[in-house]
């Protein structure tokens, strides 16, 4: 048997990353010469960009805005491909019994975030900016992950949190039923939801294996989107409501090639500069993107 290239790949334990598990369980990565160790990161993008910096991860499937922010702030990694090209839909949640009943009342309240630099942090700022609110004095409470956010809102330690709309659906009050949360509104990202990010050192040493890895994941994404049973499979695996999964699946478009989304990346950089989350200077896209 040929020697396999070991790659540590991180992602959130959510339905977006099902194609990676398809590739592992079918043996497709192994057939391509890759021993892929997939690691769940409940702490999200902020935890994974930290793991890329430390060398704990070789590859991470992360939110576009969080990845671009961390690279432009010194993370020695590069985006090699868009993973989910449709935007992420963030639900804006409060506790079920919160007195906050309208979106315009959340200004100045405490936001639960998984960690600084995470999507829940950055999108709270993006949302406030889009609504014309000041962002300089926003209050953040670091809670680690979704479970931490549930606890913080239940105990009154935070007031609002942003999380992917369909992931939180089991906890959101619906017609005729109570829940842990109420969803006041949603916010879509103005760029692709997820990208695949690789440490520069890994690109230098194992570029061919990274290229093969991308070929495999693109095949798996195409296979999932073409699967007539995909909704049922995902609903059963992630214990989600099938109607909710059907809505999510209809809105989700995985990438199946390596085309660089120049306009979206430039938009993200401009936005992050405006929010003072990255240094205010001119950037070239090859500072954040590299072909594998």
SS3 letters across the chain: CCCCEEEEEEECCCHHHHHHHHHHHHCHHHHCCEEEEEEECCCHHHHHHHHHHHCCCCEEEEEHHHHHHHHHCCCCEEEEEEEECCCCEEEEEEECCCCCCCHHHCCCCEEEECCCCCHHHHHHHHHHHHCCCCCCCCEEEECCCHHHHHHHHHCCCCCEEEEEHHHHHHHECECCECCCEEEEEEEECCCCCEEEEEEHHHHHHHHHHHHHHHHHHHHHHHHHHCCCCHHHHHHHHHCCCHHHHHHHHHHCCECCCCCCCHHHHHHHHHHHHHCCCCCCCCCCHHHCECCC
Give the per-residue pLDDT at 175: 56
Q: Which CATH number fits domain 89-188: 3.90.1570.10, 3.40.190.10, 3.40.50.150, 2.40.50.220?
A: 3.40.190.10
Give the per-residue pLDDT at 176: 58
Which residues of the chain carry a pLDDT beneath 70? 1-2, 175-177
Give the per-residue pLDDT at 118: 85
Q: Which fold has domain 5-87+191-287?
A: D-Maltodextrin-Binding Protein; domain 2 (3.40.190)
Q: Where in the chain is the domain with CATH 3.40.190.10?
A: 5-87+191-287, 89-188
């Amino acid at each position: 048997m040929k020697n396999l290239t070991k790659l540590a790949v991180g992602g959130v334990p959510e339905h977006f990353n099902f194609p990676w598990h398809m590739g592992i369980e079918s043996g497709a990565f192994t057939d391509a010469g890759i021993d892929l160790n997939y690691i769940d990161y409940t702490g999200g993008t902020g935890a994974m960009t930290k793991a890329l910096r430390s060398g704990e991860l070789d590859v991470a499937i992360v939110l576009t805005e969080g990845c671009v922010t961390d690279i432009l702030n010194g993370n020695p990694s590069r985006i090699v491909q868009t993973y989910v090209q449709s935007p992420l839909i963030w639900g804006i949640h409060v506790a079920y019994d919160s007195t906050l009943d309208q979106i315009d009342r959340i200004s100045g309240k405490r936001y639960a975030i998984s960690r600084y630099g995470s999507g829940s942090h950055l999108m709270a700022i993006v949302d406030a900016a889009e609504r014309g609110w000041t962002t300089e004095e926003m209050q953040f409470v670091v809670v680690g992950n979704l479970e931490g956010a549930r606890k913080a809102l239940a105990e009154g330690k935070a007031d609002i949190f942003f999380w992917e709309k369909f992931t939180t659906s089991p906890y959101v009050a619906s017609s005729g039923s109570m829940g842990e949360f109420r969803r006041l509104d949603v916010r879509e990202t103005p760029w692709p939801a997820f990208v695949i990010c690789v440490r520069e050192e890994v690109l230098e040493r194992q570029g061919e294996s990274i290229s093969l890895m991308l070929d495999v994941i693109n095949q798996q994404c195409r296979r999932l989107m073409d699967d007539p049973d995909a909704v049922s499979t995902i609903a059963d695996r992630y214990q989600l409501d099938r109607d909710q999964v059907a809505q999510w699946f209809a809105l989700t478009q995985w990438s199946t090639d390596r085309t660089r989304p120049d306009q979206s990346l430039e938009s993200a950089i401009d936005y992050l500069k405006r929010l003072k989350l990255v240094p205010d200077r001119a950037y070239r896209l090859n500072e954040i993107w590299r072909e594998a």
